[in-house]
């Protein structure tokens, strides 16, 4: 970044809602130096009206305010535009607040008194995400124009009811690198990176076998073993007696778009220290997994855990050593869990593993494997580290907060019983 760029205002608009005049004035002065446009409000009612009128790029809000608090205002804003980033300035650290924040979709927290340099860094990060999102929107628009201008069947493949390829057109062969002769007779799985797409492929097959159309983006395998992504529509072909005789797959190459989207999602969804998913990503992932568990009536479990006595590590070895311990822990867990499991850094030294198609008993065994792997690993410069675990299983009437709460209560019980152990929900 050049000196000139450093003092160039971010090309974003910010709504700042704060009922305390001194705090509002101090932070507003900083914001006026950093961003193109700032809107100020004294409470949630005024803030919501300004949001409806001006649709700012980012919202920064206090929580406790007269007439309408910051969380209720955020809920209303997310109903208007769920993509608007909301930063909450708070002195709260209680579980109820964070559970409500998860439900609403708060994007970031900044503790009071506000560290202005931290707030600026957060705005820079969101400004970059907004810029990239706009780039993605423009590319999406171009892609739609492209699709409209070309034949929708430019990439086409057919299989029989046994999922064996019977035909692939030139465009399909061109993107995959295989000839039609090389593909004919092979199972469709032959050209799909199926090891990480088991659930999606099962969903596709289930729809097709039920005579339904399926749409989605599938990662395909090229002949040189690199990947390409096809925005695919798969549909059953019926004969005069409504019997399925074959399946047809029509798609477009969206590899460039997916690459861009992956970089954007990595920027917004990844914890920079541990490379695990962050809390913002958790909200979307858990909703998707809960819906899938309901639809297919499959189990879903949550494993919440943290490093025991983490404060002592920071106090005795320093915060850099603490950071290295968190990174080491994330590596150990990532190497131990399944491909379909999802690791999230919940905050501080706390982590969550989302375990699809896993009941409470299996999740208990998985948590025990993690506990043993962590305890049996060497943490450079620190020595041995242990962790405590709380495990909960999704119930049909659950919302994300309830699932997390039961895992948190189980984790608390593990701490009370001496740490370095696994406890299950009640």
Cα(363)–Cα(301) distance, integer angstroms: 6
Judge whether 386 and 408 are in contact, CB under 8 Å.
no
All structural domains of the chain = 3-143 (3.40.50.2300), 151-259 (3.30.450.20), 270-424 (3.30.70.270)
Tens-digit pLDDT profile for residues 79-129: 999 889 999 987 766 556 667 777 788 888 888 888 888 999 999 999 998
- Distance separating the N- and C-terminal Cα atoms of the chain: 53
pLDDT, one tens digit per residue, over 28-64 is: 999 999 999 999 999 999 999 999 999 999 999 998 8
- Give tens-digit pLDDT for 256-276: 888 887 777 777 888 989 999
Longest Cα separation, the chain: 77
Q: Taking residues 324-336, report their average pLDDT.
A: 96
Peptide bond into 319 cis (omega under 30): no
Quick check: 150 pLDDT over 50? no
**Tens digit of each residue's pLDDT (9 = 90 or more) over 355-414:** 999 999 999 999 999 999 999 999 988 989 999 999 999 998 999 999 999 999 999 999
Question: What distance in Å separates the CA atoms of residue 258 and residue 264, rounded to the nearest whole number?
Answer: 10
Which pLDDT value is given to residue 314?
Answer: 94
Rounded distance, CA 317 to CA 311, Å? Answer: 10
Q: Where are the alpha helices (DSSP H) in 168-278?
A: 170-176, 180-183, 198-209, 255-269
Q: What pTM was estimated for this model as a whole?
A: 0.45
Residue 15 has pLDDT above 80, yes or no: yes
Radius of gyration of the chain (CA): 25
Tokens of 210: 């039920």
Helix (H) or strand (E) holding 90: strand 86-90
Among this protein's residues, is 416 annotated catalytic? Answer: no
Mean of all residue pLDDT scores within the chain? 89
C-alpha 423/C-alpha 135 separation (Å) is 46
**Would the pLDDT of 1 be above 50?**
no
Edge-to-edge strand order for the sheet containing 10-17? 35-41, 10-17, 58-62, 86-90, 108-111
Q: What would the mean pLDDT of 277-293 be, rounded to a whole number? A: 93
Residue tagged active-site, from 349, 357, 423, 425: 349
């Amino acid at each position: 970044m050049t000196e000139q760029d450093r003092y160039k205002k971010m090309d974003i608009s910010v709504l700042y809602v704060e009922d305390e005049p001194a705090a509002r004035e101090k932070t507003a002065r900083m914001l006026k130096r950093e961003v193109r446009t700032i809107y100020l409000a004294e409470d949630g009612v005024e803030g919501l009206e300004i949001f409806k009128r001006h649709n700012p790029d980012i919202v920064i809000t206090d929580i406790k305010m007269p007439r309408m608090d910051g969380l209720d205002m955020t809920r209303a804003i997310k109903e208007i535009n769920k993509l608007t980033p909301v930063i909450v300035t708070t002195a709260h650290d209680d579980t109820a607040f964070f559970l409500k924040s998860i439900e609403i979709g708060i994007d970031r927290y900044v503790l009071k008194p506000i560290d202005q340099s931290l707030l600026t860094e957060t705005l820079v990060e969101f400004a970059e995400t907004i810029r990239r999102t706009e780039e993605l929107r423009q590319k999406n628009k171009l892609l739609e124009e492209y699709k409209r201008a070309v034949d929708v069947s430019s990439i086409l493949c057919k299989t029989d009811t046994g999922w064996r390829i019977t035909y692939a057109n030139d465009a399909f062969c061109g993107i995959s690198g295989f000839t039609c002769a090389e593909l004919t007779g092979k199972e469709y799985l032959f050209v799909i990176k199926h090891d990480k797409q088991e659930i999606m492929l099962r969903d596709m097959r289930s729809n097709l076998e039920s005579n339904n159309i399926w749409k989605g983006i599938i990662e395909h395998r090229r002949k040189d073993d690199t990947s390409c992504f096809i925005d695919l529509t798969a549909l059953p072909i019926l004969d005069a007696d409504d019997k399925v005789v074959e399946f047809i797959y029509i798609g477009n190459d969206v590899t460039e778009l997916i690459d861009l989207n992956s970089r954007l999602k990595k920027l917004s969804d990844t914890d920079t220290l541990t490379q695990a998913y962050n809390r913002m990503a958790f909200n979307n992932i858990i909703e998707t997994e809960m819906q899938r568990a309901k639809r297919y009536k499959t189990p879903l479990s949550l494993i919440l855990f943290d490093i025991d006595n983490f404060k002592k590590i920071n106090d005795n070895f320093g915060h850099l050593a603490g950071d290295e311990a968190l990174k080491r822990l994330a590596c150990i867990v990532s190497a131990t869990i399944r491909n379909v499991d999802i690791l999230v850094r919940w905050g501080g030294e706390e982590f969550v593993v989302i375990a699809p198609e896993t009941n409470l008993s299996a999740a208990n065994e998985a948590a025990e494997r993690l506990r043993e792997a962590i305890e049996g690993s060497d943490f450079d410069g620190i020595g041995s580290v242990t962790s405590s675990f709380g495990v909960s299983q999704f119930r049909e009437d659950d919302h994300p907060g309830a699932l997390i709460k039961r895992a948190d209560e189980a984790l608390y019980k593990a701490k009370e019983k001496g740490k370095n152990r696994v406890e299950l929900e009640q």
